Amino acid sequence: MSAIAKPSNRGNSSTEIPEFTDTERAVINRLQYGLPLTPAPYRDVAEELGISEQMLLDTLKALLANGTLTRFGPMFHAGEMGGGLTLAAMRIPSEDFERVTEQVNSFPEVAHNYRREHELNMWFVLATETPDGIADTIQRIEALTGHPVYNMPKEQEFHVNLHFEV
C-alpha cells in the first residue's frame, strides 16, 4: 500500500477496486462518452447496450448512490459560458497548509483543489461568472492567506478527453 496517491475525504473504499458486473462496466464506459441528445436518450443507449431502459436507469442510479459516479449530467465548459476559468497554484509551508486549505476552500469560486507533491503544493481550479472575476478572486485569496497565487490560465488547449475504461 502506498501513501502517495491516497485520496483523503473519499471514504474508506478508496483502497479497494470494486468488481463491476458486465452491465455496470458497459454503463460506466458508454456514458462517459455522453448521452445522445435524442427524444428518448436513455432508451437509445439501453438499446445500444442490449439492456432494458429500466435496467440502464437502475444501474445508473446505483452507481451514483455508491459513489462510483460522482455525477451524471451536462458537463459545462465555463470558458464558453462567458465566465472565467483558470488553474492556480500556491507554495504553502506545511505548518500553514491546513489553515490555508480551509481559507482557499471557503471560496465558492474554487471548484477543485488538490494537494500535490512539489514546491508548489496546492493546485486549484477557479471558475468565476465573468472573466474579470479571476483576477479579483486571486487578489482576495492572496489577501486572506498572505501567500502569493500563481495564475496559470490555459493559453492553448490541445486535448480534453477524460475517459476511464473499466
Phi-psi region of 146 (alpha: psi -120 to 50; beta: other; left: phi over 0): left
CA 114 to chain centroid, in Å, comes to 10
**Position among 47, 135, 136, 154 found at the interface with another protein (CB under 8 A):** 154
Considering only residues 130 to 149 of the shown chain, the ones binding another protein according to CB under 8 A are none
Taking the CA atoms of residue 98, residue 99, residue 100 and residue 102 in that order, the dihedral angle to the nearest 10 degrees is 90
Considering only residues 90 to 119 of the shown chain, the ones binding another protein according to CB under 8 A are 91, 101, 104-105, 108, 110-119
**Position among 48, 139, 146, 152 found at the interface with another protein (CB under 8 A):** 152
The string of DSSP codes covering 45-65 is HHHHHTS-HHHHHHHHHHHHH
**Position among 23, 79, 96, 147 found at the interface with another protein (CB under 8 A):** 79
**Position among 74, 93, 94, 143 found at the interface with another protein (CB under 8 A):** 74
Place of cell 494537494: 115
Q: How do 84-90 and 150-152 pair as beta strands?
A: antiparallel
Considering only residues 6 to 65 of the shown chain, the ones binding another protein according to CB under 8 A are 6-10, 13-14, 17-18, 27-28, 31-35, 37-43, 53, 57, 60-61, 63-64
CB of 7 to another protein, least distance (A): 5
